[in-house]
Amino acid sequence: MKPPIPVITIDGPSASGKGTIAQLVAAQLGFHYLDSGALYRIVALATQQQNIAWSDAQAVAECAKRLHIIFENEQVLLNNKDITNDIRTEAIGKGASQVAVHAPLRDALTHMQHAFCKAPGLVADGRDMGTIIFPNAPLKVFLTASTEVRASRRYQQLINKKQAANYDDILQDLLERDERDQNRASSPLVMADDAILLETDNLTISQAVAFVLQKYQPFIQFSA
C-alpha cells in the first residue's frame, strides 16, 4: 500500500501571514501549495461579473461548479483570463467572506481542494484546512496575530502594491471578516483540536517558517 501523501495545514484569520508562510514552507519542502482563500475570492469575482448576488447560496454554488480555474506559477486564470490582481482587492476579499458562508458552495469547492493533494506533499492554507478539508493531516498549524498587527500588515501590503489604503477602514474590515468567519454555521474558523498554535506578533517571517519546518522534522524522519 502506498503511504499517504503528507499534508501540512496552515489555518488562521485574515492577514495572519498564512499565505506567505505556507508558500515558503511549500517551497522549502518541494511540496504543492493550495491557497484555498483564492478559490473563494475567484467565486466572489465571477459571481459579481455575472450579477449573481453574494447572498444567493444556490446560484453562487452553481456558478462555482461551472468555473474553469487554472493556477499557473504565480498566476490565476479564470476561463483563460488572468485575474491574479483582480481577486486581491479589499472588495473581493469582503465578497469572498460573504460567499464563504454558504454550505453548498463549500461542498462544491471540496473536491477541487482535495485535487491539490499530490505527491510529494501539500501545504494548504485557509480557514478549515485542518478541521474539514484535510482532517488527517499529520501537521496542523494555527497562525494568529493581534488585530492591530494584522491590520498594519495588510495596510503595508496595499501601500507596497500602490493601492489606496486607510488603516481604520482595514481594521474595521478585518474585525467584520473575523466575526463572519468565526461565527458562520458552515466550517467556521476554529483551531483544530490537534493543531499547534503559532502567535506571530513578534516573529519575523523566517522565524515562523523555521518553526513550521522544525515541527515537520519528525514526520520527515518517520517517512524516510
Q: How far is residue 151 CA from its own chain's centroid?
A: 17
Comparing CB distances to ligand C5P, the nearer of 29 and 96 is 96
Choosing from 128, 192, 198, 216, the residue that interacts with ligand C5P (CB under 6 A) is: 128
Question: Contacts with ligand C5P in 83-112 (CB under 6 A)?
Answer: 93, 96-97, 100
Comparing CB distances to ligand C5P, the nearer of 91 and 220 is 91
Size of the site for ligand C5P (CB under 6 A): 14
Comparing CB distances to ligand C5P, the nearer of 59 and 96 is 96
Residue 90 CA neighbour count, 13 Å, CB half: 19
**Polymer length in residues for the chain:** 224
Shortest reach from residue 93's CB to ligand C5P, in Å: 5
Residue 75 is classified by DSSP as: E
Name the grid cell of 139: 501537521
Strands 122-126 and 139-144: unpaired
* Residue 177 binds ligand C5P (CB under 6 A): yes
Handedness of CA 192, 193, 194, 198 (dihedral sign): positive
Contact assessment for residue 134 and residue 11, using Cβ atoms and an 8 Å cutoff: no
d(CA 172, CA 186): 23
Distances (CA, A) of 146 to 129, 143, 189, 200: 21, 11, 16, 8
* Residue 130 binds ligand C5P (CB under 6 A): no
Amino acid sitting at position 26: A
Comparing CB distances to ligand C5P, the nearer of 121 and 126 is 126
Choosing from 17, 37, 130, 138, the residue that interacts with ligand C5P (CB under 6 A) is: 37
Choosing from 6, 9, 25, 40, the residue that interacts with ligand C5P (CB under 6 A) is: 40
Name the grid cell of 205: 517571517
Choosing from 6, 9, 10, 14, the residue that interacts with ligand C5P (CB under 6 A) is: 14
* Residue 54 binds ligand C5P (CB under 6 A): no
Name the grid cell of 201: 506578533
Comparing CB distances to ligand C5P, the nearer of 53 and 223 is 53
Name the residues that contact ligand C5P, by CB under 6 A: 14, 36-37, 40-41, 93, 96-97, 100, 126-128, 177, 181
